[in-house]
Amino acid sequence: MKGLKKRLNAGETLTGCWLNLGSSVTAEIVGLAGFDWVLLDLEHGAGEPKDLLHQLQALEHTGAAPIVRVESVAKQRIHRVLDVGAEGVMCPQIKTVEDAETAIKGIHYPPFGHRGVAKMVRATGFGKQFDQYRQLTHENLLGIIQIETKEAVDQVEAIAAIEGVDVLFIGPADLSMSLGIFGQLDHPTFTAALDRILTAARNAGKATGILLFDPAEFDKYQAMGIQLIACSSDATFVANGAADLAKKLNQQKRKVDPN
């Protein structure tokens, strides 16, 4: 464990990046880049659950703590990504208090939750550290609920109050879509929803997070008190790098062959 939850609770602002190619190679490259955490995306990413183990192994010797975004709050999905070594779980498309409670209970063992018990898994050193791992799950495992629907905003105070919800993570694209103002992050309706989320988290003593479209927005959102801030992805790095180089080469080519 890399102490991500403890650092968050200590008030640090932690920078992250999405990993959505399902590649252990890009996971290692991004993990070594200097981010505090990375998000392995099983909701929209190209990778399959079977790719997760290799990505987590690649991240082991880097400074980036691995969080996994699951595609379902089913307890089997959540406890499988934890068993393989995730330090936190992000649950998307939460719409109700019941959805959030189901997700959080899936992260923790009984009596607090309903996570299934398996000792011979990677997270516990294949049984060698099971007792320590089980005792410290509340201290170490990060429960992240995405607030990205109008329904979730309408119930955000109750969601924030749930024990075990550590972070309310704002999904700007989905939230603005749900509010009927896609991409208009300066729209009064979006800013009102953002203020309500931040206030609910603050009143409940919980952290907030967000995915930025532009790194220049970092100061703006940090000033709001948002601590878990992500920007870009491995796919974006590859796509932008390839497009930029192709453009430069084509410009050079046209100097020689204008046709």
Quote the CA–CA distance of 234 and 138 in Å, as a whole number: 30
Domain of residue 63, residue span: 4-256
Number of domains in the chain: 1
Confidence grade of residue 102 (pLDDT, cut at 50, 70, 90) = very high
Residues annotated as part of the active site? 44
* Half-sphere CA count of 42, side-chain side, radius 13 A: 23
Write down the pTM of the prediction. Answer: 0.95
Quote the CA–CA distance of 37 and 163 in Å, as a whole number: 23
Quote the CA–CA distance of 152 and 113 in Å, as a whole number: 22
Instruction: Average the pLDDT over 34-52 and give the result.
Output: 96
- Average pLDDT, whole number, for the chain? 96
Residue 72 is predicted with a pLDDT of 87
Residue 75 is predicted with a pLDDT of 79
* Half-sphere CA count of 47, side-chain side, radius 13 A: 27
- CATH assignment of the domain containing 208: 3.20.20.60
Residue 73 is predicted with a pLDDT of 86
Which one-letter amino acid corresponds to residue 107? I
User: Residue 60, SS3?
Assistant: coil
Express each pLDDT in 215-258 by its tens digit.
999 999 999 999 999 999 999 999 999 999 999 999 998 887 76
Residue 76 is predicted with a pLDDT of 85
Quote the CA–CA distance of 55 and 47 in Å, as a whole number: 10
Which one-letter amino acid corresponds to residue 191? T
Residue 258 is predicted with a pLDDT of 65
Quote the CA–CA distance of 202 and 152 in Å, as a whole number: 16
DSSP 8-state code for residue 240: H
Residue 256 is predicted with a pLDDT of 77
Express each pLDDT in 162-171 by its tens digit.
999 999 999 9
Residue 52 is predicted with a pLDDT of 97
**Contact at 8 Å (CB) between 169 and 146?**
yes
Closest CA to 37 of 207, 232, 217, 228: 228
Express each pLDDT in 49-62 by its tens digit.
999 999 999 999 99
Instruction: Average the pLDDT over 121-125 and give the result.
Output: 97
Quote the CA–CA distance of 19 and 6 in Å, as a whole number: 23
Going along the chain, which residue ranges are E strands? 14-19, 37-41, 65-69, 88-91, 142-147, 167-170, 207-212, 228-233
